[in-house]
Amino acid sequence: DTRFEQVSQGTLVMSRTYLDELVFSVFNKTDEVQLLEIDIPVRFRESGFKSNFGGKLQQEGTKLLLELAPYSFEILTNSN
Find the DSSP H helices in 1-80: none
pLDDT tens-digit series, residues 33-56? 999 999 999 999 999 999 999 999
State how far the Cα of 39 lies from the Cα of 5, in Å rounded to an integer.
9
Task: Report CA 18 to chain centroid distance, whole Å.
Answer: 16
> Is the alpha carbon torsion for 28, 34, 39, 40 positive or negative?
positive
Using alpha carbons only, how large is the chain's radius of gyration in Å? 12
In this predicted structure, what is the pLDDT of residue 62?
95
Are the CB atoms for 14 and 22 separated by under 8 Å? no
